[in-house]
Amino acid sequence: MSALNGKTIVLGVCGGIAAFKAAALCSKLTQAGAKVHVIMTASATKFVAPLTFQTLSRHEVAIDTFDEKDASVVQHIDLADRADLVIVAPASANTIAKIALGLGDDMLSTTLLATTAPILVAPAMNVHMYANPAVEQNMRTLADRGIRFIEPGTGQLACGYVGKGRLAEPEDIVRAVELHFAERGRLTGKRVLITAGGTVERIDPVRYLTNDSSGKMGYALAEAAVRMGAEVTLISGKAAIPAPSGVKLVRVDSALDMLEAVMSRLPDQDVIIKAAAVADYRPAERHEHKLKKSDDELTLTLIKNPDILQQIGELKTHQFVVGFAAETRNIEAFAMDKLRRKRCDLLVANDVSAEGAGFGTDTNIVSVYDRSGFVEALPMMGKREVATHLLHLIADRLGKGETADT
């Protein structure tokens, strides 16, 4: 049986010559067993008649927000609520900009605003439009919110140019949709707790000790875990990016706050992933008032913070525990030492001195270890790709019922 069987898919079609390919997409999704509801923008109707989509989907096509056919529901909210997935194909630069800005001025944009379902966007436009910095920035904004893209192909474009901007082929979009639903089931029913970002250790009300963690690695893990169907709690220290949608976000400041937030939730979790950069030491004293400048030298006394991962390792029962290690040398030896001491099931080591790895970057280079030793080394990848890969590895091991004590 197809992964799409019985799924409700809202297909948003924007104005552009590629709208004709959306008809083939609609047909393939319907044939695979999905219930497809098409929303067309007014410009899309200039390229393809709504009747084409109505015939292929066997559902009325929605175009005008105010053309309410069923008095018992508000149509754009009803479609938004019913969707298991929303696909925008072809997605025009205009609609991408509207999603980025949160505008709702037609049936498609209001539905996109109202839905909590995952959104897949397949852009199609002229090569220069696709490379325009405004479009690029809007796509980055969408990606940061967890919206996924199906990249356009390169080739002859209808406008006469040759380059990137051609709507992905309907078969490729269907494959991406199948993958989406297959991935979604992998962590369904699992509770995953992820820590991210850097802790902040206060000296006085305006000064603190912290580190360069941006939260990107932990947030990418949270986003991927949500996509795979998990119930995700993200415990975040200082981070430079917005939290992915669909997570339960708990903001913390210091290592002591993080310890409390993690340990109080430990018994309910199935998986713990500790990507946060936790300060090993904190100022012995936290001054109530701003310190005044006086002598030429100021000595700060630091005291050791509790090791949260180690405490998890000591108290865990059934939880699958994944630690991270930020190293600059002797990676394997230090990683294996941390894995054993902190009783992790997996340990992900990054050489934070390597270009494209570690703190603040969009990419990472990691090696993974388990209790038997080296598992794999991943080449440089985007943090989102690293996160997806790691969560599949975790899901594989959960499937086998593995924890450190088995």
Q: How far is the CB of 401 from ligand PMT (least distance, A)?
A: 23
Evaluated on CA atoms 125, 44, 9, 241, the torsion sign reads positive
Could you give the residue numbers annotated as active site?
Answer: 159
Q: In whole angstroms, what is the distance from residue 8 CA to residue 28 CA?
A: 14
Contacting residue, 275, 331, 391, 395, with ligand PMT by CB under 6 A = 275
How many DSSP H helices and E strands does the chain contain? 14, 21
Applying CB under 6 A, does 217 fall inside the site for ligand PMT? yes
Q: Taking CB under 6 A as the criterion, which residues in 290-309 touch ligand PMT?
A: 305, 307-309
Q: In whole angstroms, what is the distance from residue 309 CA to residue 263 CA?
A: 10
Contacting residue, 119, 174, 278, 346, with ligand PMT by CB under 6 A = 278
Applying CB under 6 A, does 277 fall inside the site for ligand PMT? yes
Q: How far is the CB of 378 from ligand PMT (least distance, A)?
A: 12
C-beta of 30 vs 367, nearer to ligand PMT: 367
Q: How far is the CB of 269 from ligand PMT (least distance, A)?
A: 15
Q: In whole angstroms, what is the distance from residue 14 CA to residue 87 CA?
A: 11
Residue among 211, 226, 328, 332 at smallest CA distance from 276: 211
Contacting residue, 280, 285, 314, 376, with ligand PMT by CB under 6 A = 280
Residue in the block written with tokens 């990419």: 363
Question: Exposed (0-12), middle (13-18) or buried (19+): which is 241, by Cβ within 10 Å?
Answer: middle
Total of residues contacting ligand PMT (CB under 6 A): 27
Query: How far is residue 153 from each of residues 133, 164, 178, 292, measured CA to CA in Å?
Result: 19, 6, 19, 61
Q: Taking CB under 6 A as the criterion, which residues in 247-266 touch ligand PMT?
A: 255
232 pairs with which residues across the strands?
Answer: 192
Q: How far is the CB of 305 from ligand PMT (least distance, A)?
A: 5
Q: Taking CB under 6 A as the criterion, which residues in 313-332 touch ligand PMT?
A: 323-326
Residue among 76, 84, 172 at smallest CA distance from 124: 172
Question: Exposed (0-12), middle (13-18) or buried (19+): which is 269, by Cβ within 10 Å?
Answer: buried
Task: Show the tokens assigned to 36.
Answer: 């497809």
Q: Are strands 281-283 and 320-327 parallel, antiparallel or unpaired?
A: unpaired
Q: Taking CB under 6 A as the criterion, which residues in 155-174 touch ligand PMT?
A: none
Which amino acid makes up residue 195?
Answer: T
Applying CB under 6 A, does 194 fall inside the site for ligand PMT? no
Q: Taking CB under 6 A as the criterion, which residues in 355-384 touch ligand PMT?
A: 358-360
C-beta of 87 vs 387, nearer to ligand PMT: 387
Q: How far is the CB of 145 from ligand PMT (least distance, A)?
A: 17
Q: How far is the CB of 106 from ligand PMT (least distance, A)?
A: 37
Binding residues for ligand PMT, rule: CB under 6 A, are: 213-218, 255, 274-278, 280, 305, 307-309, 323-326, 338, 350, 352, 358-360
